[in-house]
Structure 1
Amino acid sequence: MSAHPLYAVIDLGSNSFHMLITRLVADSVQVVDKVKRKVRLASGLDSHNKLDQASISRGLECLSFFAERLQDIPEENIRIVATATLRIATNADEFIKQANIILGKNITVLTGEQEASSIYLGVAHTSCGKPNRLVFDIGGASTEIVAGEGFDCQKVLSLNIGCVTFRNRFFSDDLFNSNNFSKAQLAAKTEISPHVEDYKNLGWQIVLGGSGTMQALAEILLHQKQPAIISANFLAQIKKQIINCQSLDQLKIPGLLADRKPVFASGIAILITLFECFDVKELQLSSGAIREGLLYEMLPDMRALTIRQRTVTSLTEKFHIDTEHAYRVSETVDAIFDYCQSDWQITKDNGYKLLKTACALHEIGLLLEFKRHQLHGTYIIENADLPGFDQADRQLLAVLVLCYKADIDIERLKSQSAVSFEHACQLLVILRLAVIICRRRNDDVLPHHNCVVKDKAIELQLPKKWLHAHPLICDELRQESQHLHSIDYTIDIIGTE
């Protein structure tokens, strides 16, 4: 039996059918395979909610592809669910009966509340930060709205409005204008508005979403080299661009993929309405939704550690990072941070947490080679699967790993969006000093040190005897003064008795 058995989740959505195959490695999920097919099942619903034969055939053909991959996966490690379209289709049994035979395992048709809860758990398992969340998910035939704290849903709602059904109702001619947008938004508002007050009474600290519409918007933002944070102003700009394009065949927005175009306008209409009804200013992209919710709840002990802890532990094991040295640097960072905290007015916020993560991962590139290990480490941070770290988090982590010693890339520090440029410089200074102090990689020779900070001037106080016994580190500290000068910081080394 494999030490890392496979797990599979299949989601029969109203727009797309998805299959996610993973395995558990070092307490972290490793994606082995992903298959997505734009079945657009909801487009086959007539006015009486009956699925047409063409849609049924497309869906069954897709499941025959999926069935091939399920043969090697233990039955208890498989979850197969269907959502809104197969909830409301009057002839859903006809499809499900044939699908069960093809898959060799029964499909579970989720209620709207079950779907919303699974979506929320997917967000909770893959997102980090503030625990009180409002989550939006726009599917092909339904939209889920969930308020929760930690792993607990406080209010769940599933509405029969989706990007496929709204396309059929308001954009069926594939023309885009203010009139059809207004009609779509009014219809969405009619469904959403009665429920808003209950959510506002609960409150939230952050708004998250990860459905296709939001993924498409994130791809546009990435193309623009912007963080994947969707603002109300950005949505208004996108709506204007869509209307200016006038029709589907003329819809050209840099970063928007072709397969997302048919239901993009209808999804935007619903998302704008959600923003307006809930008075949302910005939404962060989540890397998890229904499939991840089903998967993580199937895996053992997934609530025992935070998502970031699991991610760091997994990377540490995969890349054979020296954990003792990483801890040594981390402890020294804490000491220097405390010295700087008052004068720099810095707190132990997300920037601090990312600094601590950089301590754990700053040598991640050493497995490949020493000479360019900082470049390799940066590449890994930017391209590896890092649940719990959004794009802005990755940017700051990457530049800290790239610049933890030697030359400082000022443009990279400026281009990251997790914290201000000044705060990024402060975090980098703390990391660089800690790394130099810990150069001997030996707890027994770590010196007692003190820092006196005044604006951008740092006075590092170290015992004279220790400085005399460590000429290489002394020289590195002198060189560090030159490196820090590039970001307008100064460092003086003072020997103490």
Structure 2
Amino acid sequence: MEKLAIIDMGSNSIRFVVLQINDNKSYSFLYQEKESIRLGQGLTQTGELSDAGMERAMKCLKVYKHIMEVMEIQNCIAVATAAVRNASNGDEFLKRIYAETGVAMTVITGEREAYLGYLGVINTIAMKDFLLFDLGGASVELTLVQEGEPVHSVSIPIGAVTVTEKFNLQGNVDAIALQDCLKFVRKKLLAADWIKNLRLPLVGIGGTARTFAKMDQRTTNYELTKVHNYILPAEHFDALYTEITTRTSANRKKIPGLSSERADLIVAGAAVIKTLFDTAGSPELVVSGCGLREGLFFEYYTSYFHLPAPRFDDILKFSIRNFVGTLGGIVNESHCQQVTHTAGLLFDQLKDLHGYGERERLYLTTAAQLHDVGKIINFYDHARHSAFMIGHAPLYGLTQREQLIVSFIAGFHHGISRKTLRAYRYANMVTAEDWAMVRKLSTFLALAEASDITYEQVVQDIHVTTAENVAVAVITTAPGVAYNAADYEMNQLTKQFKKEFGISLLLVWK
């Protein structure tokens, strides 16, 4: 077992996270702390870190050092970004940090900052082609990703803090100052002329991007509060941008989802994102809650286990395995593998009946792998607990809507129940068509679960033939294993099968 602390000291905020790597190669977050230190405040005018900003940072770092001592953490990766990188007294400040806390902090280049943000995104969002930006207090890092690989990357010295100070945007917005700001930002961004007319989605890292997700969620009454992988259409951004830039300073603070600590920086941050939208011609912004810190961790993790690269080929498969690994052996993996196999057989054999494709098959097999995780809360009614856990688990490779669909399928793995349906807080977040799919796929999962009721992996293969009003499932069993219990449990679900698919199900064992 290994514990690792990561400190990310930016121009606006300082973040501290503690992770644990377990002997089974799973990892989990143990602690997180974030403070707004405004380290870059005044940097534009003086070229130096202010005494007040450094004192705020030191106060946090001393607390973090104490937490590391209490948690007996020996290994700490600490990095500083644009504010320290650009300040004339940055090196002196790092020496002071080491002298007073023992934390050895490294200044990373803008290019490395961009690469770490890329690692944080590419390992947690299933996208191949996008324009990635990481907007901080004193810089924005841009990376063009094509076919999953970083093609171009640059760090541009404009950020929410520095642009706010340069154009005095923290109070009531002056229309002329805002137009000057937009012209300035556009000129700076066009240093990376490869961003013009990309027509690719934006993927945004940083507090400004997350704030826009939160504001849009409040505006649209979005029931989930999770911002990672939240999709913000361009027209939604434009509406929020107009609201932000036309309100008075006092009224701006009343916008739902906008925190008071970011209200003075949001105009400048919005101007940068607005310019990116317009210059790149992007249709949407996908918000990432993962970035530099996760990139640092993935580098460390893959090095720790001697993996070939800090990227995972199948991020959903990796995150499923990691999530299950953190549950302390509560999940019987051989049973879940058997249920997944059988559910897949039923899906494939009845494809002509349901008409779904590979994406829907992925929903089913993902639900099958995770259908028992709710046992860690309570064995009784664990299907409902599984649904809730899956809906909120750190699963990567699915959209938020898809993750909810998977959770709903798993929630019905003992059969469709009105009681379970009533318990779904997020039931209205998917369409009626989605619910019809959930009911069909959960029927396959329930049948597969019933087929392994004794945990003996009875079913080896299934071959289905369909006539006008009946589907005949010929089930090949493992040699020497009794199938009576499986036959009884599966037959309890034939009524549900007929209701969902419109034909009867006949089980034939051999």
* Change in CA separation of 1:207 and 1:429 when aligned onto 2, cut-off 3 Å: farther
Q: Look up the match of 1:219.
A: 214
2:227 equivalent in structure 1: none
Moved more, 465-474 or 298-307: 465-474
1:118 & 1:387 partners in 2: Cα distance?
Answer: 18
Structure 2 counterpart SS, 1:443 = coil
Residue 3 of structure 2 corresponds to residue 6 of structure 1 = yes
Q: Of residues 223, 229, 232 in structure 1, which corresponds to 2:231? A: 229
What letter matches 2:284 in structure 1?
E
Identity %: 23
Deviation of the 1:385 alpha carbon: 3.9
**What is the DSSP-based 3-state SS (H/G/I as helix, E as strand, rest coil) of the residue aligned with 1:147?**
strand
Flag the 1:117–1:447 CA change in 2: closer, same or farther, 3 A. closer
Give the match for residue 269 of structure 1.
271
CA distance in 2, matches of 1:176, 1:429: 57
Among 140, 165, 170, the alignment partner of 2:167 is 170
Match in the other structure for 2:444: 430
Counterpart CA distance in 1 for 2:361 and 2:187 is 43
Contact 1:437 1:446 in 2 (8 A): no
* From 51, 60, 63, the counterpart of 2:61: 63
What is aligned with 2:493?
A: 477
Distance, in Å, in 1 between the alignment partners of 2:253 and 2:158 is 23
Conserved in 2, the CA contact under 8 Å of 1:467 and 1:474? no
* Inter-CA distance 433–208: structure 2 relative to 1 (3 Å threshold): farther
Q: What residue number does 2:289 align with?
A: 287
Structure 1 residues 151-166: aligned runs within 5 Å: 152-166=149-163
The residue number in structure 1 matching 2:471 is: 459
Q: CA deviation at 1:246?
A: 1.9
SS in 1 for 2:29: strand
Residue-by-residue CA offset, 1:306-358 (whole Å, 9 max, x unaligned):
44333322333415211122111211222222234456443223x43232211
* Length-normalised TM-score, structure 1: 0.85
| 2:321 counterpart of 1:313 | yes
Q: Does the C-alpha gap of structure 1 residues 136 and 491 become closer, same or farther in structure 2, counting only changes over 3 Å?
A: farther
Alignment of 1:336-375 (within 5 A): 336-342=346-352, 344-349=354-359, 351-375=360-384
The answer to whether the Cα contact below 8 Å between 1:213 and 1:268 also exists between their aligned partners in 2 is yes
Number of the residue aligned with 1:399 = 408
Q: Distance in 1 between matches of 2:428 and 2:454?
A: 32
Q: Does 1:416 align with 2:430?
A: yes
3-state SS of 1:187 partner: helix
Structure 1 residue 281: Cα displacement: 1.1
Shift in CA distance, 139/145, structure 1 to aligned 2, threshold 3 Å? same
Structure 2 Cα separation of the partners of residues 20 and 246 of structure 1: 36
Contact 2:170 2:265 in 1 (8 A): no
Following superposition, the deviation at residue 239 of structure 1 comes to 1.3
Q: Is the 8 A contact 2:447 2:490 kept in 1?
A: no
Contact persistence 2:61–2:101 (CA under 8 A)? yes
RMSD: 3.4
> Which residues of 2 match residues 38-49 of structure 1 at below 5 A?
38-49=36-47
Structure 2 partner of 1:450: 464
Residue aligned with 2:265, SS: helix
Q: Distance in 1 between matches of 2:467 and 2:254?
A: 52
* Cα separation, 2, equivalents of 1:418 and 1:64: 53
Cα deviation code 1:193-222 (max 9, x no counterpart): 242436878x96x64223111211222344
After superposing the two structures, state which structure 1 stretch, 30-39 or 141-150, moved more: 141-150
Q: Which moved more, 1:8-17 or 1:275-284?
A: 275-284
Between structures 1 and 2, the one with greater helix share: 1
Greater alpha carbon shift after TM alignment, 392-401 vs 417-426? 417-426
Structure 2 CA distance for partners of 1:182 and 1:295, relative to 1, 3 Å: same
* Match among 333, 342, 346 for residue 332 of structure 1: 342
- Cα distance in structure 1, aligned partners of 2:493 and 2:252: 59
Counterpart of 1:166 in structure 2: which amino acid? Answer: V
When the two structures are aligned, how many residues end up with a matched partner? 484
**Deviation for aligned residue 1:362:** 0.6
Structural mapping, 1:104-183, within 5 Å: 104-125=102-123, 127-148=124-145, 152-176=149-173, 178-183=175-180
Closer/same/farther in 2, CA of residues 244 and 476 from structure 1, 3 Å limit: farther
Say which SS state the counterpart of residue 262 (structure 2) adopts: helix
Given residue 476 of structure 1, which amino acid in structure 2 is its aligned partner? Answer: Q
